[in-house]
Amino acid sequence: MPQTTESHMNTPLGTAASPAKPLLESVLDELGQDIVSGRVAVGETFKLMDIGERFGISRTVAREAMRALEQLGLVASSRRIGITVLPQEQWAAFDRAIIRWRLNDAGQREGQLQSLTELRIAIEPIAARSVALHASTAELEKIRALATEMRELGESGQGASQRFLDADITFHELILRFCHNEMFAALIPSISAVLVGRTEHGLQPDLPEREALDNHDKLADALLARDPDAAETASRNILNEVRRALDSLN
């Protein structure tokens, strides 16, 4: 590869794919993580042949991986130059894969959590206000049930469990879905990804702060009461508590 320093693309790999992952997914996951983490530097170039040799895959699979990386804004390809790694401002910042790779990188984890939390602070309280005004009673009761489940799990020391995570994700997904704003709903995968990342990286305690559980209850109650001001305030309080928790990690 025409570089002045040895390219990470030439680093030997033990296995091309784990049994649990399809081949293309495994190749894309490793290449994407390498680029996002900076192990393959911005401006570095490589060929389809380099991907094929590294992973022991066909040219067809290598091309599919390249196209997936292009769609994520991680690389650009041309016949004359080959595949070129692009800077961060070109990345598909809201894509779940990009978010996951950034959370997996210790150097970018805090920044990714902070940026998504700020996005949530800007969006979710307004969504909660709209839910109070426009959602059906059946939809509001689903949110109320999830808040109850989170309370029960959190108080029993299961705040870092899969069940708590599932309830937490669904609670916030429904806020964005039931506000009936299609642009807010489009953020569901990104917000779900950061909630998963917090748990996977040990940032979610077994015993959540009582304030966090209280605020979820207050939001659910405000929604059922059709009180948009209280719903907006409760949602903002949930996210302010998340921001304070992140700030305490510094």
Q: With a cut of 50, say whether residue 10 has pLDDT above it.
A: no
Percentage of residues of the chain with pLDDT beyond 70: 91
CA dist., res. 107 & res. 181, Å (int) = 34
Q: What is the pLDDT of residue 244?
A: 87
Domain identity same for 77 and 103: no
The pLDDT-based confidence of 95 (bands split at 50, 70, 90) is very high
Q: Which of residues 90, 121, 150 is at a domain's end?
A: 90
Determine the average pLDDT of the residues in 171-186: 96
Q: What is the pTM of this model?
A: 0.83
Q: What is the pLDDT of residue 233?
A: 97
Q: Which CATH number belongs to the domain containing residue 18 in this structure?
A: 1.10.10.10
Determine the average pLDDT of the residues in 57-77: 96
DSSP states along 122-184 = HHHHHHHHHHHHH--HHHHHHHHHHHHHHHHHHHTT-TTSHHHHHHHHHHHHHHHHHTT-HHH
DSSP state for residue 95 in the 8-state scheme: -
Structurally, the chain folds into a number of domains equal to 2
Range of the domain at 153: 96-247
